[in-house]
Homo-oligomer: A and B are copies of this chain.
């Protein structure tokens, strides 16, 4: 996704949100998002973009059913981070994505950490359509299991943080369309010519190195820490580095 201030690279997650990813890919393939704006942007919360016409009520794009959680599959790559977490029985990482789990129901869902990408909707659970948001502030975990989370920013969160904010008192709505940050273009990697394609490197959350890193973050032994922190980890405060090369 190209914004005025730079490139934002999003990794999609068809395992947790197959129909949402399918629709998003179709829309991106049709260049639906090109030229549209982030029209609802609340600092410390979310940047929401798309056509903005009240979530596309006048649109002929089909609605997407709720994809709030999935059944846990023992085959998933998984590393546990915290149990219990404040908002869920358990959190961890699956293929680079922060997830939460409820072992009692065997359900799992993508956690609303900074950088996650999800579909906006109305009150109806099955009313996601075209408009999406990126979390730009402290994890709004109360939205977990209530939204179709379908991706995460793996590169360019600094660019996302430059998206023009709207007035907090007005629910972040930017009335002046000229003031809002526009999506110059949004392309699928599959549609980019080979010679323009960038390589994205993401952290392997199933690696031994990552396991060690989690352990180190949970148990801070450095002499810098005069008061040893509680031996807990917020799954949304674990940096999941990504980088891009030609």
Contacts and interface: CB of A to CB of B under 8 A. Distances in A.
A99 interface: no
Contacts of A141: 229, 234, 237
A213 interface: no
A56 interface: no
B225 A139 contact: no
A158 interface: yes
Interface in A1-39: none
Interface in A32-76: 43-45, 66, 68-69
A123 interface: yes
Interface in A184-240: 217, 220, 222-227, 229-230, 232, 234, 236-237, 239
A158 B165 contact: yes
Contact of A232 (B43, B87, B114): B87
Nearest to A164: B158
Contacts of A222: 123
Given A137-B114, A138-B236, A234-B141, A68 B123 contact: no
